[in-house]
Amino acid sequence: MFKRLKNWFTGLLLAILAALGAGVAISDDASLTVTAPSRNTDNSVLDNLAGLNFYRGPLGGPYELIGSVPETVAGATVTYLDSNLPDGTYCYVATAYNNQAPADESDYSNEVCKTIDTRVPRAPANLVVN
């Protein structure tokens, strides 16, 4: 009962704020999935993969490192979550790096982009019943 009342009250509050034109801070996530390489650039077996790096930036770059997934298994499917993003367009690339000192890092993967639009429409107006 309390949860239903809380959800109703939250919905009412958001509707009132939308009707008044007030901004409500809402965000979204980008879930990135990539397959780790299993071969080196010379086509030899990749036996020293250390991890993957994930970068974010505008279309075409430049990109900034936003996170890493260490201890990645060659050929594995890896997921990285970029969370709490405000409205906008976000582009991503990934790289692989090995366990040499200093680590060698691959070229960028293909670029993928996501547009986040969390704007909420205003509530309908002038509802009538006859």
Nearest to 55 by CA among 72, 30, 38, 37: 30
β partners of residue 83: none
Please provide the CATH number assigned to the domain covering 26-116.
Answer: 2.60.40.10
pLDDT the model gives residue 1: 52
pLDDT the model gives residue 15: 45
pLDDT the model gives residue 4: 52
Q: Is the full-model pTM beyond 0.75?
A: no
Query: In a structure prediction context, what are the per-residue pLDDT tens digits for the chain, which is 130 residues long?
Result: 544 544 444 454 444 444 444 444 578 999 999 999 999 999 999 999 999 999 999 999 999 999 999 999 999 999 999 999 999 999 999 999 999 989 999 999 999 999 999 888 889 999 999 9
Residues whose CB is less than 8 angstroms from the CB of residue 20 and which lie 6 or more positions away in sequence, other chains included: none
pLDDT the model gives residue 25: 54
What residue ranges do the domains of the chain occupy?
26-116
Rounded Cα gap, residues 55 and 94, in angstroms = 6
